């Protein structure tokens, strides 16, 4: 399962962090938080449209849903929430990259 999550994170990594910080913001409407929760539950759920044990095809529905769902949620997010989430995500990502070098 962790290998699966690692592959998915590399695919849409920064956007996941931005969505995480946007959902933690109290100014984010509950509807967006609920939609993000449903998206995360589907990706982590063992019940999929295409079973994960199918070689390569099993991850296709998860990756496609993340690739379409996360940008759609971020596009509909209030602008001030999105700006705050992006700055927080950039700070975390830059710190993690700096820590991995040294």
Signed CA dihedral, 12, 17, 36, 29: sign only: negative
Q: Across residues 82-100, what is the average pLDDT? A: 85
Confidence of residue 92 (pLDDT cuts 50, 70, 90): confident
Flag whether pLDDT at 98 surpasses 80. no
C-beta of residue 84 within 8 angstroms of C-beta of residue 21: yes
- E-only strand ranges, 15-86: none
Confidence of residue 4 (pLDDT cuts 50, 70, 90): low
Q: What percent of the chain has pLDDT over 90?
A: 44
- pLDDT in the model for residue 62: 80
Phi, psi at residue 56, to the nearest 5°? 65, -40
Flag whether pLDDT at 23 surpasses 70. yes
Distance CA 47, CA 76 (A): 27
- The ranges assigned to domains in the chain are 2-94
Q: Give 81 or 14, the one with higher predicted confidence.
A: 81
- pLDDT in the model for residue 67: 85
Distance CA 6, CA 42 (A): 16
Name the burial class of residue 49, with classes exposed (0-12), middle (13-18) and buried (19+) by CB atoms within 10 angstroms of its CB. Answer: exposed
């Amino acid at each position: 399962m962790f290998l699966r999550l690692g592959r998915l994170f590399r695919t849409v990594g920064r956007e996941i962090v931005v969505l995480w910080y946007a959902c933690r913001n109290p100014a984010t409407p509950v509807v967006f938080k609920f939609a993000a929760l449903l998206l995360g539950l589907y990706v982590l759920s063992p019940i999929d449209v295409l079973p994960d044990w199918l070689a390569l095809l099993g991850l296709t529905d998860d990756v496609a849903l993340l690739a379409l769902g996360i940008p759609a949620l971020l596009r509909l997010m209030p602008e001030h929430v999105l700006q705050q989430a992006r700055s927080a995500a950039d700070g975390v990502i830059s710190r993690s990259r700096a820590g991995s070098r040294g």
